[in-house]
């Protein structure tokens, strides 16, 4: 597999931009810009980040609490700062429930360590969500190798929203009265 072609394919999936924050071995706040973030489970509450094995944050996360800071659209400088292009003025930190957090994030998800898995040249780090902080801020996005913003004119796709979908997170995939496992349905 050509690595450039694979990177381009992966880049065809729009994501939010996060900074994973934790304490370093010396107790100093540390962060890394990451767009590989996934919600895993509601029960138990789990979230996942994927970090390159050679990153400092990856070394600091071994068995440590961390926070996932979903950056707001006005935090492009913060994204670059933690991606290796330090800003003239460092981002503002705050104390979080499990680890240091970034001031001004659109959403913050504070986690305790749960599991870590081999992900090739990356580690898959899953945290148990301890607390969340939500705001009304628009997120910073990443698509096609570039940072992007939601357009006020096109911030939602037309048509039916989650409430009309079988994947609606509030109603589940199936109505309990109509669901029967495939094995039972085949024998009916």
What is the residue-wise DSSP string for 55-122? SHHHHHTTT--EEEEE-BTT-HHHHHHHTT---SSPPPEE--SSS-EETT-SEEEEEEEEEEEEETTE
Q: Is residue 76 part of a domain?
A: yes
DSSP symbol at 183: H
pTM score, two decimals? Answer: 0.78
Mean pLDDT across the stretch 123-142?
94
Mean pLDDT of the chain: 82
More confident: 27 or 48: 48
Choose from 7-16, 83-92, 125-134 the range with maximum mean pLDDT: 125-134
Q: Is residue 71 part of a domain?
A: yes
Q: Is residue 58 part of a domain?
A: yes
The tokens of 54 are what? Answer: 């050679």
pLDDT at 117: 92
- Note whether 16 and 69 are within 8 A (CB): no
- CA gap 42, 51 in Å, rounded: 22
Q: Is residue 187 part of a domain?
A: no
Counting the structural domains of the chain, the total is 1
pLDDT tens string 81-104: 998 888 889 999 999 999 999 999
- Note whether 18 and 70 are within 8 A (CB): yes
pLDDT tens string 162-182: 555 555 555 555 444 444 455
Q: Is residue 167 part of a domain?
A: no
Mean pLDDT across the stretch 47-67?
87
More confident: 9 or 40: 40
- CA gap 167, 173 in Å, rounded: 5
Sign of CA dihedral 17, 23, 24, 25: negative
The tokens of 36 are what? Answer: 């590989």
Tell me the residue range of the domain where 46 lies: 3-160
Q: Is residue 43 part of a domain?
A: yes
The tokens of 101 are what? Answer: 């957090």
DSSP symbol at 139: B
- The pLDDT-based confidence of 185 (bands split at 50, 70, 90) is very low
Q: Which region among 50-59, 61-70, 84-93, 107-116 has the lowest average model confidence (pLDDT)?
A: 50-59
pLDDT at 170: 52
Q: Please list, in sequence order, all residues whose beta carbon lies within 8 angstroms of the beta carbon of residue 33, skipping any fewer than 6 positions away.
A: 17, 18, 19, 79, 80, 82, 83
User: In CATH, what number is assigned to the domain containing residue 121?
Assistant: 2.30.110.10
Q: Is residue 7 pLDDT above 80, yes or no?
A: no
DSSP symbol at 162: G
Tokens 């109603």 correspond to: 171
Q: Is residue 92 part of a domain?
A: yes
Q: Is residue 165 part of a domain?
A: no
């Amino acid at each position: 597999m050509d690595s450039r072609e694979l990177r381009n394919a992966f880049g065809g999936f729009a994501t939010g931009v996060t900074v994973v924050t934790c304490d370093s071995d010396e107790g100093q706040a540390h962060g890394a810009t990451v767009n590989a973030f996934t919600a895993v489970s509601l029960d138990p509450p789990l979230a996942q980040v994927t970090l390159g094995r050679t990153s400092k944050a990856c070394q600091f996360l071994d068995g440590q609490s961390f926070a996932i800071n979903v950056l707001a659209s006005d935090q492009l400088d913060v994204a670059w700062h933690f991606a290796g292009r330090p800003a003239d003025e460092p981002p503002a930190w705050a104390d979080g429930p499990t680890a240091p957090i970034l001031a001004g994030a659109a959403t913050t998800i504070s986690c305790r360590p749960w599991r870590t898995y081999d992900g090739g040249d990356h580690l898959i780090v899953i945290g148990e969500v301890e607390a969340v902080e939500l705001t009304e801020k628009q997120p910073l996005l990443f698509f096609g190798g570039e940072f992007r913003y939601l357009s006020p004119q096109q911030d939602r796709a037309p048509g039916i929203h989650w409430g009309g979908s079988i994947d609606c997170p509030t109603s589940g995939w199936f109505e309990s009265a109509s669901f029967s496992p495939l094995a039972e349905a085949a024998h009916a």
